[in-house]
Amino acid sequence: MKNHILLFGYTGLIGNQIYKHIKQENYDKIFCFTRKKITPPTNKTNIISYTDIHTDLEQKLEDILQKNEAKWTIFLFTGETIFGLINTQKWQNIYKTRIDINKKVILILEKLNIEVSKIFSASAIGIYYLSPHQEVTENTEPPDNIVSNLVKDWENTILNSKYINKSVIMRLGAVLDKNSKIYQSLSLPSLISIGINFTPNSFFPWIYNKEIPLIIEYLMKIDFNGILNTVCDNYITYREFLENFITIRSFLKKSFIIDIPKKILEKSLAILMPRYYQLIYSLFCSPKVIPQNLINLGYKSKFNNIKDVIKAM
């Protein structure tokens, strides 16, 4: 039987990195879903443009699955960024691009009884936000708040499906890449050696974008299913990350960090977006996230030196 791929989030930061890797692998066809109209980069790649998940996405996905008898590997990596001010409209888009798309894809797969080799789905280490524990693993019980509940709804699209035993949910930390929001937001102030940290200090769970497809390749070989903290085991605080980022990129090769109490940040965000401020606030309130399952599986990170990663971006 032929091996095909469905990739959702093809034009996104992670999805594009995954595509660069899988296009070199032994797959017969790759179907990339996007809301942008793009010319296919290779003969075996098919770009599927859609406008709405409840109309043309459903129709086009069903048509592809019915016309192509194959064993499918599926990547669900869609999701609008949570950076910036969040209003009701943006919250709906954040939710829709994570939960609704996943749910629609899974429902179609189940309806057509599609044979799946593996499903890889993104979620976020934000599920641990405001955890009472200083260290957390995949087995840590998540707290009850808007951030954790968003992630739980996101993950449950897979965990409540018939494909639960053929799925990997990747709880991603801050994805480092020159095109990432965190790189872009810090790029200009870092040149003049300035950075802002929020105290008390929090950990900064991170992963280099080029590491993600390597982890996926490793998991395919050992046939792992379950939840995975997809973060580097080089544990650093956000302040340590800032110091390294600024020192490497600044003209002066020095860093000047301004420490601001988190309470000020929290109150400011609560004024600007009272219903959704925790989404942004959570980015600066992470415990130490341990990739316990990756450690137990024997995976060795290729990109675990933060200085080398910053220089490579």
Domains, the chain: 3-174+205-233+288-299 (3.40.50.720)
Question: What is the rounded CA–CA span in Å between residue 128 and residue 133?
Answer: 9
Check whether 15 has a pLDDT greater than 70.
Answer: yes
Instruction: Report the relative pairing of strands 116-124 and 174-176 from DSSP bridges.
Output: unpaired
**Could you tell me the pLDDT band of residue 39, with boundaries at 50, 70 and 90?**
low
Angle between helices 13-22 and 211-222 (to 10 degrees): 60
CB 44 within 8 A of CB 70: no
Question: Token pair for residue 72?
Answer: 């499918």
Average predicted confidence (pLDDT) for the chain: 92
Query: CA triplet 166, 234, 123: central angle to 5 degrees?
Result: 35
| Amino acid identity, position 148 | S
**Could you tell me the pLDDT band of residue 55, with boundaries at 50, 70 and 90?**
confident
Q: What one-character-per-residue DSSP string does 260-282 give? A: EEHHHHHHHHHHH-TTTHHHHHG
| Residue-level pLDDT at 104 | 93
- pLDDT mean over 91-107: 92
- pLDDT mean over 27-36: 86
**Cis amide prior to 291 (ω within 30 degrees):** no
Check whether 308 has a pLDDT greater than 80.
Answer: yes
- pLDDT mean over 209-218: 96
Counted residue by residue, the chain has a size of 313
- pLDDT mean over 37-44: 66
Count Cβ neighbours within 10 Å for each residue of 296-308 and write b for 16 or more, e otherwise: eeebebebeebee
pLDDT tens digit sequence for 141-197: 999 999 999 999 999 999 999 999 999 999 999 999 999 999 999 999 999 999 999
SS3 228: strand
| Residue-level pLDDT at 313 | 87
| Residue-level pLDDT at 45 | 87
Question: What is the rounded CA–CA span in Å between residue 141 and residue 137?
Answer: 9
| Residue-level pLDDT at 42 | 63
Higher pLDDT, 239 or 44: 239
| Residue-level pLDDT at 41 | 62
Question: What is the rounded CA–CA span in Å between residue 212 and residue 75?
Answer: 12
Check whether 200 has a pLDDT greater than 70.
Answer: yes
**Could you tell me the pLDDT band of residue 40, with boundaries at 50, 70 and 90?**
low
| Residue-level pLDDT at 250 | 92
| Residue-level pLDDT at 24 | 76
pLDDT tens digit sequence for 263-303: 999 999 999 999 999 999 999 999 999 999 999 999 999 99
| Residue-level pLDDT at 79 | 86
pLDDT tens digit sequence for 116-157: 999 999 999 999 999 989 999 999 999 999 999 999 999 999
Q: CA 199 → CA 76, 110, 203, 257, 286, distances in Å?
A: 35, 47, 11, 11, 12
- pLDDT mean over 19-35: 86
